[in-house]
Structure 1
């Protein structure tokens, strides 16, 4: 899994149709202070990667304490999570100018792993809002810091 983790003061996602209009079948999802996660899944990802990534993310100390040091987790500050599926994190541009997405998981597998990941996060008692898998979305968020971290389970497992 490749996950871009951004500390945010707010985040919102809307699903849009081909003309860029809001999709009325999807209620916009919104969070206040917390983490915006852009999540990509490979075909090699499974329960071990899900458990590892969820545990790392909820315990990552990237929120400031009373002394202004990054010493608190999303759990500590009672933050929220907005999780967005984003296969393009597996885009490879080493050859040519058009990205190859061969490293991204097949849609059925990727969706199941992403949903398992979101469930694992919520089991820590965190409110988890999500985008809609495989759709065109528009994100609106305020990156706080800015603080942006990359977690790649391919390099750790």
Structure 2
């Protein structure tokens, strides 16, 4: 699985003008299931993100995890993270098929909840508008193929 993790002061996702997920300080996570991914990859990704020390401590150093700060999570499906850019028009054949992608997306979000985080989500497959205030900015790219 692939993810782009952004430290935020706030984030929200809307579908057709309605806010369907919203958080204050925490992490906005764009996530994509790749061909061949399963629950072990989703679990490993969630565990890794939960432990990332990317929040500032009292000395201003990135030394605290989401758990330390008691932040929230907004998880948004993002199949374009699987883009194949061999040409000028991206292809997405590396992404998991939609039904499997949805299942793993929902599993990942449930896993973040199981880690103890207040977790909001977008809507899988929907045309979403995502708004966020990136804190830092801090943006981390993760791929379970390299974790």
Aligned residues: 147
Give the C-alpha shift of residue 125 in structure 1.
1.0
**Correspondent of 2:82 among 90, 95, 119:** 90
Deviation at 1:50, TM superposition (A): 1.3
Q: How does 1:30-45 map to 2 (within 5 A)?
A: 30-45=22-37
Q: Over alpha carbons, which structure has the higher Rg?
A: 1
CA distance, structure 1, for counterparts of residue 75 and residue 144 of structure 2? 17
1:67 aligns with 2:67: no
Name the CA distance, whole Å, in 1 between partners of 2:72 and 2:59.
22
TM-score (structure 1 length as normaliser): 0.91
Runs of 4+ that moved beyond 2 A: none
Q: Does 1:56 align with 2:69?
A: no
- Structure 2 counterpart SS, 1:132: coil
In the alignment, which of 116, 122, 129 is matched to residue 120 of structure 2?
Answer: 129
- Measured on the aligned residues, the alpha-carbon RMSD in Å equals 1.0
Runs of 5+ in structure 2 lacking a partner? Answer: none
Match of 2:92 among 94, 98, 101: 101
Equivalent in the alignment of 1:15: 15
Deviation of 1:43 after TM superposition, in Å, equals: 2.5
Distance (whole Å) between structure 2 residues aligned to residue 150 and residue 11 of structure 1: 18
- DSSP 3-state at the match of 1:113: helix
Which has the larger share of strand?
2
SS at match of 1:81: strand
Query: The residue matched to 1:28 in structure 2 has which SS?
Result: strand
TM-score, length-normalised on structure 2?
A: 0.97
Q: CA deviation at 1:93?
A: 1.2
State whether residues 41 and 144 of structure 2, in contact with CA within 8 Å, keep that contact through their aligned partners in structure 1: yes
